[in-house]
Structures are given as C-alpha cells and as structure tokens.
Structure 1
C-alpha cells in the first residue's frame, strides 16, 4: 500500500530531495523515481510513494506521485517588475543603454534615408514578440510549467527582436544571471549595434523602394 508524506526538501537543479512521513521519517526522493507523467514536485507537496532499498541499502521513495500540490505563492507581474537588491543596477543600465542606442540608430538611419521605414517596423514587431516570449517564460517559471526554450528566445532576438528582448530582461528581471545565455544575448546585441551603426553612418546601404 502506498505511503503518504510531505516533500520537505527539494533540489530542483539536481532533481532530488526528501519526503517525510507522519512518523517523522525522511526518505530520499530522486526525479527518476517519479511515476510516469508526473511533473517535478515542489516543497510542501503531499506525495504518495512506495519504499524500496536505495543507495547504501537505505530506504528510498519510488513510484512517487503528487497527491496534493502545495498552493503556489500569489505573485503578480508587479512583483516580478519590482526592483531587487540582488540585481546589479549597472547591468540593468547596460541593457537600457543598448536598447536605446539601437532605437536611436534605427531612427537616424530612417531619418537620413539610409534605411527603409519597414526596417523600423520589423524591429518594433519582432521586439514586441520577443518581449511577450520573455513575459510568458517568466510566468511559466513561476507556475512550474514548461518553459520557452532558450534557443527560441535567442532566435527571436537575433531576428530583429533584440530591443524588446533586452527591455523585457530588465523589466521582468529574467534571464540576467546564466552566463552562457547572457553572453549570447550580448553577442546578438553587439551584432545588431554594429549593423545599425553601419547603416546610420552610410557605410552600408539597404535598397529603398
């Protein structure tokens, strides 16, 4: 007969934790022992499970399923946007500066007839799409649902959505820590800054209708 207990510890990155039964006994839980179709548990979830011998002969939970999910903390987009002391103001400023610089370069290139108006419209449209993807990814992260893939975020940013992507990273305080993701974002931003600067200065040209 399956046992019942509360998940009292959980390492989401490592995929392991401990479930505690009514008698106060803790059993090791590994993500590989979740029943088919189960999502990652969260601390506070009531789990049903069987007990078997695990590593070193110690009892561990198997066939783990979430019987009663712990309530999600009530968070709104206002909470997401609220500045955090853990976020560097300097880094946030760089994102704002880069997005503003690209916007000004687009306006300069269009204003001097060195770039077509549709180019600005493309940046605006794709920027809005990128911002929405970051928003959805942040909300999905908070609710524990499937995330927007990092590849998709980068592809949309590369395809003229970088201004909206940088703005969304700042507003939602999202995707600003992981080194590889941050490095790729700045590489895309640098590529667009160089390209727009070349257009604005007349070093390259785009055929106008």
Structure 2
C-alpha cells in the first residue's frame, strides 16, 4: 500500500534523509536510489512524496519505490516560477556591462564569446555530473568545475547551481566557487584597463 509523507530531513551530498508519513510521527529512512522516477530532481525538506514501506536488511522500515506526489500548482506559484530570479537578473546586467565595455573599446570582443562558450560548456559539465551522481557513475572532479568557473564559465555554473540544484548547498564548494568568480572578475576588470 502506498504511503504519503513529507521530507523532514535531507542530506543531498549523501543522497539520503527521512520522511514522516502523514498522520504519524515515525521517521522513515529514505535513499535516492529508491526513487522510481527521475533522480535528477532531488528532494528537499518539505517535499511531499509517495512511497511503499518495505523492510531493509535489518528489518527496519524504509521508503521504497519513491515518487514525488503530483500536486497542482496554484496560479501564483506558476507566475512566480516564470519570473527571472536574482541570478538571471545579475547575469543579464553582467552581459550588458560586458557589451558596454566592448562597445567602448576597453575590452576585446572575444571576451564575450569566451564567457558564452565557457558558460555553456560549464552548464553541460554540471548537468553531466548531476546525472552521473544520480546513476552512481564516475563524477567530474570538483577541481574541474572550479577551474571552469575561474576561466569564465562561472555564469553557466551559477545557472546550473540554481536550476539543477547541483553543488549549491555544499559550503566549501560555494566558498571556492565565489572566490574563483571574484578572481575572474578582477582579471576581466584588469584586462579592460590595459
């Protein structure tokens, strides 16, 4: 029999957490490998899931054949999700600033082309890494992701973190990512003054 419950704890880096079945207070173990559908959509605290209770090797009940509950979006939720977020607005502003710098002949045009190319590549690398994580395959090293950001792929990395919800909650990764982004921006500012 299918149960329905709310995620009360989730560790995305380890791929597990706990769900509480509606009408009870019992915490049930939940693992990403037990999701029956797309594992690219990661659960978060507050998500409503459906699942079958099954015993594990030690006889404890765990959530199996897990799926996200189908919920109708309200009109306000739909309109909110279609709006541009802070990341998108900031990146559009950054793009306009770059275009202005090229127009003023303080920055070579290939800088914009480099940002676009590296951002697309970086977004695809993040997507591949997220898919590999969900499938239990070989992962892209974090150093590779950080070097791509440093070289100019940080806009694509930032969008990937926001839209794919990948590498967005790991504090140590975020610290290095924003440092790499700052170094890249300092380098571009220096280039524009030469």
Contact persistence 1:131–1:168 (CA under 8 A) = yes
Contact persistence 1:109–1:196 (CA under 8 A) = no
Q: Within the alignment, does 1:75 sit opposite 2:38 as a pair? A: yes
**CA 1:161–1:140 in 2, change beyond 3 Å: closer, same or farther?**
same
**CA 1:12–1:139 in 2, change beyond 3 Å: closer, same or farther?**
closer
Q: Within the alignment, does 1:109 sit opposite 2:72 as a pair? A: no
- Residue 109 of structure 1 deviates from its aligned partner by 1.0
For residues 115 and 178 of structure 1, what CA distance do their matches in structure 2 show? 34
Q: Report the TM-score when normalising by structure 1.
A: 0.52
- Residue 167 of structure 1 deviates from its aligned partner by 1.1
Gaps of 5+ in 1: 1-10, 15-42, 45-69, 87-91
RMSD across aligned positions (CA)? 3.7
- Residue 198 of structure 1 deviates from its aligned partner by 5.2
Q: Within the alignment, does 1:143 sit opposite 2:135 as a pair? A: yes
Deviations 1:183-205 (A, max 9, x none): 01111122233344455xx6x12
Contact persistence 1:176–1:182 (CA under 8 A) = yes
Aligned residues: 134
Partner of 1:190 in structure 2?
182
Kindly report which structure 2 residues correspond to 1:1-209, keeping only aligned pairs within 5 A, or say none.
73-75=36-38, 79=41, 93=85, 95-197=87-189, 204-205=193-194
For residues 112 and 164 of structure 2, what CA distance do their matches in structure 1 show? 24
**CA 1:144–1:198 in 2, change beyond 3 Å: closer, same or farther?**
same
Gaps of 5+ in 2: 1-10, 15-30, 48-83
**CA 1:12–1:99 in 2, change beyond 3 Å: closer, same or farther?**
closer
- Residue 97 of structure 1 deviates from its aligned partner by 4.9
For residues 165 and 88 of structure 2, what CA distance do their matches in structure 1 show? 12
- Residue 103 of structure 1 deviates from its aligned partner by 1.9
For residues 112 and 12 of structure 1, what CA distance do their matches in structure 2 show? 45
For residues 13 and 169 of structure 1, what CA distance do their matches in structure 2 show? 14
Contact persistence 2:151–2:184 (CA under 8 A) = no
